[in-house]
Structure 1
Amino acid sequence: MRLKTKLVLWLTALMFAIVLLLSALFVGELLRQRIEQTAATNDVMAHEVLLATRSSVELGLRQQPPTDTSDKGVHDAVVLVLQQQSTLIELMNAIVRYSPTVQDVSVTDAYGTTIISTDPDAVGHPFPFRTSLTRVQTGGMVLQTREVFGPPRVLDISQTLERNGFPFLIVHVGVRSTFLKNSYEPWLRAALWFALLAGLASMVAAALTANAALRPIEQISSQLERLTLRAGEGAEPTPAASSGSDAVVRVAKTISRLGEQMRSTEAGYSALQANLNQMLDTLRDGVMLFTADRRAVMVSDAVAYFLNSPAEVEGTSSSMVGKQLEEIFLPGSALGEAVLAVFDSGEQASVSEVTLEDGRQVQVSVDRIEDERGGGSMGTLLTLRDTESAAQLGQELEISRRLAAIGRLTAGVGHEVKNPINAMVVHLELLRGKLAGVHGEAAVGAQRHVEILAGEMQRLDRVVQTLADFSRPMELHLRDRDLRHVVGVVVELTAAEMQENGVRVQVDEPRDPLMVRVDGELIQQALLNLVLNAMQAMKHGGNIEVRVRRDHQFAVVEVADDGEGIPPEVLPRIFELYFTTKPKGSGIGLAMTYRILQMHGGTLDVRSNTDAAAGERGTVFTFRLPVAGGTVAGTAANRKVMGERV
């Protein structure tokens, strides 16, 4: 069955169900109104009988007062009076005779015994239980339908005559359900026919409406098929499109093909954009792409590093997009003059070097992108490279190579030394056990030598374990962390030790979060090593300043102390494994810190001044980490002095 046919049938069935439900509610409401009318009419009759009964009792007792005034005597007198009142009995018979729904009328006493009734056989007998018509009237449609159209039964309408606040006589009007059914059947049959005709009409109308509403799908299908063929560069139509199949199915398949083409194109574009952004973020070189009219369309974050003038730098790299070349590189600056000169040369590719105002050597490279179809230049790629940064990168690579070689060496040495150490420890314990049973001065001397050997073996084992820990691969658990929070945790951890050594810590950090994607525990360990080194460099106390800031695409943390400084001949070796100038140092802290930052794509630099007369005596360790994507750091600093707390 075609999908269009299914939709038409489904809409038709839905419309019929709605009309059927509304029709049932309509018939139910009519039934409720008829029952209310019947109950109201018969209730009036019951009141008439009640008034006639009261008049008859009052008149009869006035004419024949009871000799016995007890309750039983009064009851017997009332029974006798009612049974002698022919007028009351005629009224009750008239109601039964002329009402189409009333079966009988009875008057009972408070004990349920029938005194008079239109049914002579019921007099003197207990009145049977009957369902109240009032209960049916206030009930739901299901109850009303079951009572009226179910098995034949008699429904009751009652009115009570009270004496001294208690029921004395009760008038019952019996309504036969069969009479109600016969009375309701004519209008009920008409209502059902009306509901049936309305349902059929709604089905026809729904079918015509659905068919008319779905007809434009044919036009939509043809338009989508042409769009798909155009997107597929003239591909052959699919069997679904060329055949006379259901239009709804063709539209669904065509939209699915268009969706796949769009998702494929979007995925390729997103991957290309992500790769390009990642490449630009990791580059230290400034990269800019200009159109043929010298307007910037792509700018890497590193470009801001080369622009020093506030007039040249108005914001992040995104603010430079769309600007002209002359708006970014002002002619009055050394870099601006060099870039404009290279652009004006008109050469296909050119390279020049320029010295900036701050002494940095920058290499300017220009590559022009030509249109392969002979349409001239499409754009220009500008690259700015700091030669000092290139040399620094080479130095970092050399340190990394040394650390890698040391790691391979320590892993092998640790493995080879561990097993002999274990064997020596075992035999040393056996020797200690044998000497325990020997006495004398020679035994005491031998025992002392054994203890010395045991202590040295333990120290050697710790050294081997340190080798194993350093060479063991680290697993990074990266997530976005606020670098300010990492610094705060380290300061809290070292607070007590700083106070004991008379060291005052001062933190200078930005107001806004500075997010980096790092393993928080490893970065805390790296920063902790730097802070403790700074504290240990000041034997008589002093000040440590931790400065947190953003430098373009990098987050920077500086740990500065005012200690004695590191001698120039020692400075190149401080990152080497096991190199230390401390009597109790292990020589692994700075090497581990360097390794942690290297694993996060960061760098670690150091500068030191040992001149006692200099104003900036001391050592400054600086590490950089790439900023997490989308982070904007504030420029205003929030300075916190933590000397009172630590």
Structure 2
Amino acid sequence: MSLSSFNPPRVLVVEDNAAFLDNLRELLGDAGYLVSGANSCREAHERVQDGFDVALVDLRLPDGDGTELARELKEKVPECEVVLLTGFATLETAVAAVRAGACAYLMKPCAPNELLLTLEQTMRQVRLQAEKRELARRAQVTEKLAAVGTLTASLSHVIRNPLNAAALQLAVLERRVRRLSAEQQPALLDPLLLVRDEIRRLDHALEDFLQFARPRSFRPEPVEVVALLRRVVDFLGSQAEARRVRLELEGEESLPPLKGEEERLRQVLINLTLNALEATPEEGLVRLSAQREEDMVRLCVDDTGAGVPPELRTRVFEPFFTTKEAGSGLGLSIVHSVVSQHGGSLEVTSSPFGGARFLLRLPLVD
């Protein structure tokens, strides 16, 4: 469960004492935690699907043992941490708690400051583990990018030259076919144009590889945010109309400029918006929006499509990963690379409109 400074930490409290559960809800809620409660093992298992970062689990529950529940919760949500609560602490229960994967053990009733300190330390552990997973994921992506660079050195010559030659000969052949009578042309032009389109598709896939392999210097300049979004909406307006999808823009005209390369950022937004248009059914909506967030600008591309399943959200930016039959799996990787070079971040979440939201955060001009 990834954490960010914009998401309140989530705590699941499993406690059969209703009064104590209410007290914990109020105390933790006031401290900035998002609290959900359960009064039994069965209800705790039902709450797992809602997601949580830390579970506070009573040792004695009406339908089971808190130690066993802690082990089950850790198995279902390995990235979470569990704190056990008990009014009858013994050496045996403490050892059992450690074996079950609990990171802390508190006596009831516990002082509010002790509880909050324990939770703060536990959340620090959760964040640390999340950072380790992210570093491991980035290392894996880096290895894949290195493989792309090595592969591209030979692809550039071995594939591009024959593609160019084939495209040239097809262009010559097309001109000759068009000189024939109108009756003869269709039978010859249809397969010719099909081959031409396939060669273009191969050329675009190769260009994706080349973009990864060619390091480009970064020359940032002030970029007007709303003007940038407006150009993207104007450019893709006809495609949205052809798909019968509403394409909207929402942004504050008074936003200060962001720091970046306008052409590359425009391509990033075009890529994300095209993906949103493809994912959105007829009569649906795609919206581009911008708002300030301290020293960053927050750009969102929302749609009313099917969304991105949670289990795929950490993978969509990996090189070669794609859910499209004809995709190279590099489009979103390139987008992520460009955003990272701008000192920003990119993530995919659920849209308030029901589909996917691609959320970019980019630094404003100092």
TM range (shorter): 0.5 to 0.7
Are 2:225 and 1:483 aligned? yes
Q: CA contact under 8 A between 1:484 and 1:514: conserved in structure 2?
A: no
Q: 265, 271, 274: which is aligned to 1:529?
A: 271
Q: Give the aligned partner of residue 397 of structure 1.
A: 138
Match of 1:623 among 353, 360, 363: 360
Please state if 1:408 is matched with 2:145.
Answer: no
Q: Cα distance, 1:508 vs. partner? A: 3.1
Partner amino acid, structure 2, of 1:625:
L
Structure 2 match to 1:517: 259
Query: Are the equivalent residues in 2 in contact too, given 1:353–1:361 (CA < 8 A)?
Result: no
- The Cα shift of 1:516 comes to 1.5
Distance in 2 of aligned mates of 1:478 and 1:415: 28
- Aligned partners of 1:530 and 1:422: how far apart in 2? 28
Question: 1:50-70 CA deviation, whole Å, 9 max, x = no partner?
Answer: xxxxxxxxxxxxxxxxxxxxx
Normalization by structure 2: what TM-score? 0.53
Paired letter, 1:405: A
Superposed displacement of residue 406, structure 1: 4.1
Shift of 1:391: 5.1
2:123 to 352, 361, 369: 361
| AA of the residue aligned to 2:275 | N
1:418 maps onto 2:159 in alignment: yes
- 2 CA distance for matches of 1:305 and 1:552? 12
Distance 1:508 1:584 in 2: 32
AA aligned to 1:556 is: R
Aligned pair partner of 1:604 in 326, 342, 346: 346
Contact residue 361 and residue 388 of structure 1 kept, 8 A: no
Give the direction of change, closer, same or farther, for the CA distance of 1:623–1:396 in structure 2 (3 Å limit).
farther
% identical equivalent positions: 23
What is the SS of the residue equivalent to 1:494? helix
Q: 1:459 to 1:492 in 2, by over 3 A?
A: closer
Asked whether the 8 Å contact 2:272–2:358 carries over to 1, the reply is: yes
C-alpha displacement of 1:551: 2.5
| CA RMSD in angstroms, aligned pairs only | 4.4
Matched residue SS, 2:291 = strand
> What are the equivalent positions in structure 2 for 1:108-147 lying under 5 Å apart?
none
Deviation at 1:480, TM superposition (A): 1.4
Q: Secondary structure at the match of 2:362?
A: strand
Matching residue's letter, 2:232: V
Counterpart of 1:496 in structure 2 is: 238
Please give the per-residue CA displacement for 1:62-102, whole angstroms capped at 9, x wherever unaligned.
xxxxxxxxxxxxxxxxxxxxxxxxxxxxxxxxxxxxxxxxx
* Contact 2:280-2:286 within 8 A present in 1 as well: no
Distance of 2:279 and 2:251 partners within structure 1: 23
CA contact (8 A) 1:560 1:618 kept: yes
Q: Deviations over 1:570-609 (max 9, x none)?
A: 4443223343333444433212111110111111101248
CA contact 1:578–1:588 (8 Å) conserved in 2: yes
CA pair 542-616 structure 1, distance change in 2 beyond 3 A: closer
For 1:498 and 1:568, how far apart are their aligned partners in 2? 27
State the Cα deviation string for residues 229-278 of structure 1 (Å, max 9, x = none).
xxxxxxxxxxxxxxxxxxxxxxxxxxxxxxxxxxxxxxxxxxxxxxxxxx
> Which residue type is aligned with residue 158 of structure 2?
V
Amino acid at match of 2:321: F
Out of 554, 557, 560, the position equivalent to 2:296 is 554
- Give the match for residue 335 of structure 2: 593
Question: C-alpha separation between the residues in 2 aligned to 1:556 and 1:411?
Answer: 34
- AA of the residue aligned to 1:476: F
Q: Render the CA deviation track for 1:135-189: whole Å, top value 9, x for unaligned.
A: xxxxxxxxxxxxxxxxxxxxxxxxxxxxxxxxxxxxxxxxxxxxxxxxxxxxxxx
Give the Cα–Cα distance (whole angstroms) in 2 for the partners of residues 584 and 334 of structure 1: 45
**Separation (CA, whole Å) in 2 of partners of 1:419 and 1:584:** 19
Q: Which runs of 5+ in 2 are unaligned?
A: 10-29, 34-115, 174-191
Give the aligned residue type for 1:621: F
Measured in 1, the distance between the counterparts of 2:277 and 2:7 equals 35
Q: Name the SS of the counterpart of 2:288 in structure 1.
A: strand
- Taking the aligned partners of 1:620 and 1:418, their CA distance within structure 2 comes to 36
Secondary structure at 2:255 match in 1: coil
Q: Contact 2:233/2:248 (CA < 8 Å) preserved in 1?
A: no
1:580 pairs with 322, 345, 364, which one? 322
Residues 606 and 392 from structure 1, CA distance in 2 versus in 1: closer, same or farther, beyond 3 angstroms?
A: farther
Q: For 1:214-233, list aligned pairs within 5 A.
A: none
For 1:492-550, what per-residue CA distance to the aligned partner results, in whole angstroms no more than 9, with x for missing partners?
21122212222223333235223221001111110111111111101323112223122
Change beyond 3 A, Cα 1:616–1:461: closer
Give the number of aligned pairs.
241
Aligned partner of residue 544 in structure 1, secondary structure:
strand
Task: State whether residues 607 and 621 of structure 1, in contact with CA within 8 Å, keep that contact through their aligned partners in structure 2.
Answer: yes
User: Secondary structure, in 3 states, of the residue corresponding to 1:565?
Assistant: coil
In structure 1, stretches of 5+ residues that fail to align are 1-301, 309-331, 336-351, 364-384, 433-450, 610-614, 630-646
- Residues 300-343 of structure 1 deviation map (CA, whole Å, 9 limit, x = unaligned): xx9x97999xxxxxxxxxxxxxxxxxxxxxxx8479xxxxxxxx
Q: 1:401 to 1:490 in 2, by over 3 A?
A: same
CA pair 459-540 structure 1, distance change in 2 beyond 3 A: closer
- Pairwise CA distance, 1:471: 1.8
- Kept in 2, the 8 Å contact 1:334–1:354? The answer is no
CA distance in 2, matches of 1:494, 1:422: 29
Identify if the C-alpha distance between structure 1 residues 603 and 353 changes in structure 2 by more than 3 Å, giving closer, same or farther.
farther
Given the superposition, is the C-alpha separation of residues 513 and 568 from structure 1 closer, same or farther in structure 2, using an over 3 Å criterion? closer
